[in-house]
Amino acid sequence: MKVEENRVVRFHYTVSEAGREVESSRTVGEPLAVLYGRGGLIKGIEAALAGREVGEQIQTEISPEEGYGPYRPELSQRVPKKHFKNMPLKVGQTVMMQTREGPRPITIQKVGMSVVDIDLNHPMAGKQLSFDIEIIEVREASPEELDHGHVQREGGVQH
């Protein structure tokens, strides 16, 4: 079965930048599961998976435009420290923060007495990325998955 819109795809991936591994699904042991064609993947990965089958191994280079977008300096902001509810903060640390657009990863740039400088760019924005992908499973999505727009965990709805 080929990877096509509205099919569930499970795959392992390793992403590297400048030859250094940044992240791998194999570290957590579980492959990523997505409902293909519903916007759950960056454009470059979506394009690399199109029409592929179980067992295929893919190596692809993803530009910032096809990945997490260009780095945008205007996304650096200063926010009151109270928004972090006494979390221990370190420069370079990435944490999830609730924004107007929903939760998103932010990077701590500087920690002051009452304010924190943050970077709202995705940690991989502006970077040329290398992905190694192994397709583990391709299956038809269930009616429930199609209705919800994402893969359901075993046992049904869990949200």
Asked if the structure places residue 159 within a domain, the reply is no
pTM: 0.81
**What span, in angstroms and rounded, lies between the C-alpha atoms of 90 and 81?**
13
- Per-residue model confidence as pLDDT tens digits over 93-141: 998 888 787 888 899 999 999 999 999 999 899 999 999 999 999 999 9
Asked if 56 and 122 count as a contact pair (C-beta separation under 8 A), the reply is no
**pLDDT above 90: percentage of residues in the chain:** 77
What is the gyration radius of the CA atoms in the chain, in angstroms?
Answer: 18
Domain with 89 in it: 73-119
100 shares a domain with 64: no
The number of distinct structural domains making up the chain is 2
